[in-house]
Structure 1
């Protein structure tokens, strides 16, 4: 297998084997979410994951473009 095609395979495996329910709440947010109910708690958790993942995706994209431009 070529080295360049190994990364997409690893990413796909990670997507399939990561748990579907990720907990991203601190203890205070968990207590607040428990008082709100199940649907708002899931929405709060999804929002926390979204806000935490967005900077990593942006920095990852910039880093990938920088790496690709410097290796050509």
Structure 2
């Protein structure tokens, strides 16, 4: 029923369909944007830091 209403309005020259399409694209892109932001924050928080372990140059004996 919504589709029929939007199609009839688009045929009569209304710009409602254009606004509806923009809203759908906004809702489609929102989860991707949220995942990208969370990924960036996770990368910045948990990335490996340059840490010097102060290991000696001795060979390790594992027996």
Relative to the length of structure 2, the TM-score reads 0.55
The alignment partner of 2:15 has SS state of helix
**Structure of greater Rg:** 2
Structure 2 unaligned residues grouped into runs of 5+: 50-63
Structure 1 unaligned residues grouped into runs of 5+: 1-27
Alignment correspondent of 2:6: 33
What is the Cα-based RMSD across aligned positions, in Å?
2.0
Relative to the length of structure 1, the TM-score reads 0.50
Task: Specify which structure has the higher proportion of helix.
Answer: 1
Alignment correspondent of 1:48: 24
Q: Partners in 1 of 2:26 and 2:9 — Cα distance?
A: 20
Task: List, as ranges, runs of 4+ consecutive aligned residues in structure 1 with deviation greater than 3 Å.
Answer: none
Aligned residues: 44
